[in-house]
Structure 1
């Protein structure tokens, strides 16, 4: 044991406990060498009695290794040893904590014997919610806890430990683990019928943690249903109510929730109408609907009364999938309305995703009819791209016609939409695609390199200055001559991510950084003098190009919008906005309109600044969260782009969509209008900007060498475009973080 200790620079603790060899990749075999050394603990020469004795050794490292060796034997001998060591806070061999990929270095973290002992006990179902340094507790006490489990053939937590070792703790189960899983299953099949059934049910949650659909890792779907059905409806209802498992030696020593999801998902196979009221009382609404389909509509109404909060959307989705299965044509119409009314966010799984997957699991006879209802709805064009993909998998013909690969991109969703509509013979209008410009400007009028990444770029109205707010700490503000790019002044600022704006008359430059919360800095363009100006608490702000007003947005502690008169820096009005939501805003040059996007919605709200940000209308057309949106210089239009690769022009005056186009890589580049508001520009490929007429006809393009174009600012006379180009640093495979300002002549 001492020889093993001497060879170990660190311990891959969790991987060893789960019998899962860690990946070494390109670390000069350091991880593999440590793993191979740990495998010596599997030696048959280590007898359990000797290992138990060594677990009391005066050397903490020996105690740790003895415990790990007992785990490798896969007998319950390690459990009482873990209980004895559960409060042994002696430092021991460090654990592998993380891999420094770029530098190919191994990083370790200190660990104690107690930490490893607690890991071992959690693997067999010990439920301890205290902190790493808290004294362990057992319910009712350690001696009784172990007495209830020792020599108990019905201890489900023990079999779960064996299952996790067999699967290497990996979900989904890998091919190389299947022989071990088969061996485990053979052991399960030798158990008494009730123990076997409760155990299969206990392990079911591991399956659902993957795709949400049943996978035949240790039992087929039919085997599971048959085994659970043998337990009987009364036993299942009692389990859902109390967590007790009838028929086991000890009915309440294992996790009281494991298996409940399988029962709820497959309830139609286990319950009868007589069980419906009991299930309703337990808030098991979908199970109650499965028990008595004739009451589906009534139970749905009860469920929606209970699941009334925003965070209940997934539960509502499961209820509606069940109603779609059992209901009539009118019920399915209700489902379709709910589907597009329920919040359809753009991050993670949406309620719509849960609905579609639950419908896929249920596979109702009316599946195609339900999909057709959803596809024919006008809101289908705004359905989240991944949900369009999930719907397509319902229809084998559509899935075959679509060239799906694992490099799914949101812009492919429109191709799928067309296939789905064509399948159901639903008319649709193709979205015009923005073509690559045929003509590119040859070279910029001038270009200057900046040491460091630029965060913002602004042109002095009616003047001759450019200002660049830098990203890095101490980067400050660079003031350049707009005529030749030469630096005229550098303004020091110790914060990061500087935002800069000129006042409409061009006399002052306003800026703030991550460090300035209650004030902004003011630089006088004529005298060069600097001053501080107290303003409303803010994390960012914008200034109208033509009117002396600014929109200041509060940080996480001040969730408000403040409308500020820049002549006096006094707040004209303020408005609360909901906490814990990321929002983006744009301000029209005439200070009349505020465009507002909430990350949980795909619509753009148009607010009237003269009415304290009253919502005037809502623009809907994107299928993903609008990533960027900008008003035209004349304040009559708004342009937006999103991950769905749609470019949409909005008529602000008429409060409607003007036109829609498809592009590529739009969210990675700038978006905006030319100075005369008669053309727009968007990203048109790698390192290139396309300028288009309002009907989508390409005018010309600009190519820049660099990682990406961060900001584009047109001169007011329409003669020039100023572009902030960023170069990749080491974090993105480049050599240095730096920027370049390019000036392109258009006329």
Structure 2
């Protein structure tokens, strides 16, 4: 060893003193061990999806003890600026769905409420069945703030686990145009579920997702526009006919709040309508929504708004050859009203049809 002392070694093309190499080797080993430790640390605490049911329950209990109220509709529409930081932390933890469904068996109503909220926040309609099982859970949960002019935190109303479950499911029923969305029964849910459970996508699921992106707030927060653009990119993966139909229906809801004004321009909507073709557009005006999605039929307010949009732009979407079909639809509407139908509730107004026909008859193309 003494004979080698001071001798230079060659490593990676550089000269390194043996004692320096030994020190560096030790340092590398220490760093490697530290990295391995950090990896274990992150696997334990940085990936809450794999947390045990008991640890999840403890996390939910800590938040439940600190929350004075639970504002269900702020949770439904993902209004991050209104949600307590502790609740946002639970959502961001992204706990495993199976663990959360196990937590629904907890004897504490507030734990069950938070577990329902976290399942809903995953935006996975296949998880809604677990929420539906708590429609009859009448145990008292967090109170809810009453609407007051000054947001008085002392003015609250009682709220049960069932109330929360009804609101969470009601968001989807409302998106589908189902009248019972405010107070859905298990039967109401079962009908909705039977019509949707085997679908890969549908309008009401997209409406809920878009509403959570826009937070149902006006004006739209521009910092959320990248999320809207991602939503549009996801829509591009759908079959073209469904994509164009959905774009029209999504953009003709409560446009001040649910994203219709930011999702697409009028020009993009016109191009989508043109791609669908005149025969499909006439079918829509006649009240027969194309495709197999039941939401296109039940979401009558959106269907009505789409019809009005198409007729308003009749000179760009139809030709003179389509005028007799519009005339027949108009006559059908007149006959229904003569038999006692309420004009205000009809899908298409006679006046809109009359103006559309006039545009086509004046068209010199």
TM-score by length of 2: 0.67
Is the partner of 1:217 in helix, strand or coil?
Answer: helix
1:194–1:106 distance in 2 versus 1, CA, 3 Å? farther
Is the partner of 1:85 in helix, strand or coil?
Answer: coil
1:58 deviates by: 2.5
Tell me the residue number matched to 1:38.
87
Q: How do residues 256-271 of structure 1 correspond to structure 2 at under 5 angstroms?
A: 256-257=299-300, 258-267=302-311, 268=314, 269-271=316-318
1:203 deviates by: 0.6
The CA RMSD measured in Å over matched residues stands at: 4.0
- Paired residues of 1:89 and 1:112 also in contact (CA < 8 A): yes
Structure number having the greater helix percentage: 2
Tell me whether 1:137 sits opposite 2:187 in the alignment: yes
- Count of paired positions: 294
Tell me the residue number matched to 1:112.
160
Match of 2:247 among 197, 200, 223: 200
Q: Distance in 2 between matches of 1:57 and 1:276?
A: 63
Structure 2, unmatched stretches of 5+, are 1-59
Structure number having the greater strand percentage: 1
- Paired residues of 1:41 and 1:68 also in contact (CA < 8 A): no
Tell me the residue number matched to 2:319.
272
Summarize deviations over 1:658-680 as a string: whole Å, max 9, x none. xxxxxxxxxxxxxxxxxxxxxxx
1:145–1:322 distance in 2 versus 1, CA, 3 Å? closer
- Paired residues of 1:94 and 1:110 also in contact (CA < 8 A): yes
1:194 deviates by: 1.5
Summarize deviations over 1:211-257 as a string: whole Å, max 9, x none. xxx975111212211112222233333344454422x4x45676342
**Greater RCO, 1 or 2 (C-alpha within 8 Å, sep 6+):** 2
Q: Distance in 2 between matches of 1:192 and 1:311?
A: 34
Match of 1:64 among 110, 113, 131: 113
- Paired residues of 1:303 and 1:319 also in contact (CA < 8 A): no
- Paired residues of 2:101 and 2:115 also in contact (CA < 8 A): yes
Tell me the residue number matched to 2:282.
237
- Paired residues of 2:172 and 2:205 also in contact (CA < 8 A): yes
1:323 deviates by: 8.4
1:266 deviates by: 2.8
1:278 deviates by: 3.6
Q: Distance in 1 between matches of 2:287 and 2:361?
A: 31
1:311 deviates by: 7.0
Q: Distance in 2 between matches of 1:311 and 1:252?
A: 21
Tell me the residue number matched to 1:149.
196
- Paired residues of 2:244 and 2:273 also in contact (CA < 8 A): yes
1:305 deviates by: 8.8
Match of 1:83 among 132, 136, 141: 132
Summarize deviations over 1:273-325 as a string: whole Å, max 9, x none. 3433443444499xx9xxxxxxxxxx9xx99999999979x957757876896
1:71 deviates by: 1.8
- Paired residues of 1:303 and 1:316 also in contact (CA < 8 A): no
Tell me the residue number matched to 1:11.
70
1:173 deviates by: 2.5
Structure 1, unmatched stretches of 5+, are 23-31, 289-298, 329-363, 365-747
- Paired residues of 2:248 and 2:269 also in contact (CA < 8 A): yes
- Paired residues of 2:327 and 2:357 also in contact (CA < 8 A): no
Tell me the residue number matched to 2:269.
224
1:123–1:147 distance in 2 versus 1, CA, 3 Å? same
Tell me the residue number matched to 1:20.
79
Q: Distance in 1 between matches of 2:357 and 2:339?
A: 16
Match of 2:233 among 162, 169, 186: 186
Tell me the residue number matched to 1:293.
none
